């Protein structure tokens, strides 16, 4: 097994080529687009390549960690071949429920936080479970049902905010969380008022749990087997219907955490200004990160970085910040294509390698 290390190195190398290729393609196409619209390409790149201010680094980390949670939520579904497009709706349900529970403050101080976070997980998990149940009992594609559930979640939450919320002057939102139940920030740089959300630390914890459960447990094996080949999983005794419901619920449970860092760290209530779109971004992040806990972290940071720079583009180079959304979109498209090319190349390479080794044994 002398060639094993080089083999491993080659595998790892191939794994990195795809995302690198995707980023290069996205950079090239975005530049081309800017040239064709007569925008300042130089300014675009200067803005993107300048080291962010300390304040911006904190923002990038905050948003990146939230995106990470969203990416993991989507990745759980993907590993099972379930396209949970509903992370967005699940996260809004979760954030709303947590805001109400925390706002009511039935428990004092830190216990209130724990209760609210658990409530968010349960609510979002159940909401995602609806799609799993529909898929298993009625054969409804989870793509369709989660998209619809997103719309319903948005309207439902909006309705209840009006119903149970309090007026904040300009609009309505849930009751503010009492200050004793806020989660303080973590100071990263001296003299910078922006701090890292305390609950953003949930992200690395979730990442580790995701990795361990998926790769080290029987449940994770069954989940991956069901995703890799449903027929083989059924024949091997996995109850795939149960797995569909369970993994949908787990995906939702993690989605329920997405809103927590912001809710307890800065917003302190849930209203119409609560950030949206994180659930959809999570799908892209999971794709770019290949559903791998480290890959998703990298992808979340890339997306978060681009998002942060978008505002500056307008100010410094006079470029519409929407170009960043275009770039993110191209990255996702390019990455899907690049992964498929690399996957095929790798499969052929391995097959040739096996054939050659077997020939040597025979000779």
Partner 1 sequence: MAAGVDAGKATESVRVVGITKRFPGVVANHDVSFAVTAGTIHAIVGENGAGKSTLMKILYGVQKPDEGQIEVNGKPVTLSTPADAIAQGIGMVFQHFQLADNLTVTENIVLGAEKLHGIGAAARAEILRISQAYGFGLDPDELVESLGVGERQRVEILKVLYRGARIIILDEPTAVLVPQEVDALFANLRELKAQGNTLLFISHKLDEVRAVADAITVIRRGTTVDTVTPASVTSRQLAELMVGSELPSPSTEESTVTDRVLLQLRDIEVLDAAGRPELSGIDLTLHAGEVLGIAGVEGNGQTELVEAIIGMRKASRGTVTLGAEDITTWSTGRRRELGIGVIPEDRHRHGLLLDSPLWENRILGHQTRPPSVRGPWIDRSGARADAARIIAEYDVRTPGIDTSARALSGGNQQKFIVGREMSGDPQLLIAAHPTRGVDVGAQAAIWDHIRAARRDGLAVLLISADLDELIGLSDSIKVILRGRFVGDFDPHTVTPEQLGSAMTGAGSD
Shorter beta-carbon distance to partner 1: residue 160 or 219: 219
Least distance to partner 1, CB of residue 237, Å:
3
Minimum Å gap between C-beta 228 and partner 1 is: 5
B/e letters for 86-123, b = 16+ CB within 10 Å, e = fewer, are: bbbbbbbbbbbbbbbbbbbbeeeeeebbebbbebbbbb
Residue 317 CB, nearest distance to partner 1 (Å)?
Answer: 44
Query: Is the Cβ–Cβ distance between 129 and 252 less than 8 Å?
Result: yes
Find out whether 279 and 70 touch, Cβ atoms under 8 Å: yes
Q: How far is the CB of 350 from partner 1 (least distance, A)?
A: 4
Residue with smaller CB distance to partner 1, 234 or 316: 234
| E runs forming strands in 7-80 | none
**Measured from the CB of residue 80, what is the shortest distance to partner 1 in angstroms?**
14
Sort 75 into a burial class: Cβ within 10 Å, 0-12 / 13-18 / 19+.
buried
- Least distance CB 287 / partner 1 (angstroms): 18
CB of 125 closer than 8 Å to CB of 253? yes
Residue 312 to residue 49: CA distance in whole angstroms: 12
Q: Which is nearer to partner 1, 189 or 219 (CB)?
A: 219
Which spans of this chain sit near partner 1 (rule: CB under 8 A)? 1, 4, 215-222, 224-225, 228-229, 231-232, 234-239, 347, 350-351, 353-355, 357-358, 361
6 vs 245: CA distance, rounded Å: 41
- Closest to partner 1 by CB, 167 vs 231, is 231
Q: Are 243 and 217 in contact (CB under 8 A)?
A: no
Minimum CB distance to partner 1 smaller for 41 or for 234: 234
Of residues 300 and 338, the one with the C-beta less far from partner 1? 338
- Report the distance separating Cα 128 and Cα 57, nearest Å: 33
């Amino acid at each position: 097994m002398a060639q094993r290390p080089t083999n491993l190195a080659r595998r790892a190398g191939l794994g990195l080529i795809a995302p690198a290729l995707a980023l290069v393609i996205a950079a090239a196409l975005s530049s081309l687009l800017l040239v064709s619209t007569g925008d300042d390409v130089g300014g675009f790149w200067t803005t993107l390549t300048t080291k962010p201010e300390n304040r911006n680094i904190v923002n990038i980390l905050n948003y990146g960690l939230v995106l990470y949670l969203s990416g993991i939520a989507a990745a759980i579904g993907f590993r099972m071949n379930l396209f949970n497009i509903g992370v967005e709706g699940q996260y809004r349900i979760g954030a709303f429920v947590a805001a109400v529970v925390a706002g009511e403050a039935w428990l004092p101080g830190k216990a209130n936080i724990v209760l609210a976070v658990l409530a968010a997980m349960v609510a979002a998990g159940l909401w995602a479970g609806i799609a799993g149940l529909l898929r298993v009992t009625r054969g409804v594609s989870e793509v369709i049902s989660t998209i619809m559930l997103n719309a319903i979640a948005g309207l439902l939450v909006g309705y209840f905010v009006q119903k149970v919320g309090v007026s904040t002057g300009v609009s309505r939102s849930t009751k503010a969380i009492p200050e004793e139940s806020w989660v303080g920030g973590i100071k990263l740089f001296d003299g910078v008022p922006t701090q890292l959300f305390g609950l953003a630390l949930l992200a690395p914890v979730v990442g580790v749990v995701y990795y361990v459960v998926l790769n080290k447990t029987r449940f994770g094996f069954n989940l991956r087997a069901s995703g890799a080949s449903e027929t083989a999983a059924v024949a091997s005794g996995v109850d795939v219907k149960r797995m569909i419901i369970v993994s949908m619920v787990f995906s939702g449970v993690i989605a329920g955490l997405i809103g927590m860092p912001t809710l307890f760290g800065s917003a302190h209530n849930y209203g119409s200004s609560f950030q949206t779109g994180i659930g959809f971004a999570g799908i892209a992040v999971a794709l770019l990160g290949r559903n791998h806990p480290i890959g998703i972290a990298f992808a979340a940071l890339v997306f978060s970085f681009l998002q942060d720079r978008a505002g500056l583009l307008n100010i410094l180079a006079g470029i519409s910040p929407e170009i960043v959304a275009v770039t993110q979109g191209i990255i996702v498209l390019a990455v899907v294509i690049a992964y498929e090319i690399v996957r095929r190349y790798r499969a052929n390479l391995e097959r040739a390698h096996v054939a050659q080794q077997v020939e040597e044994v025979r000779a």
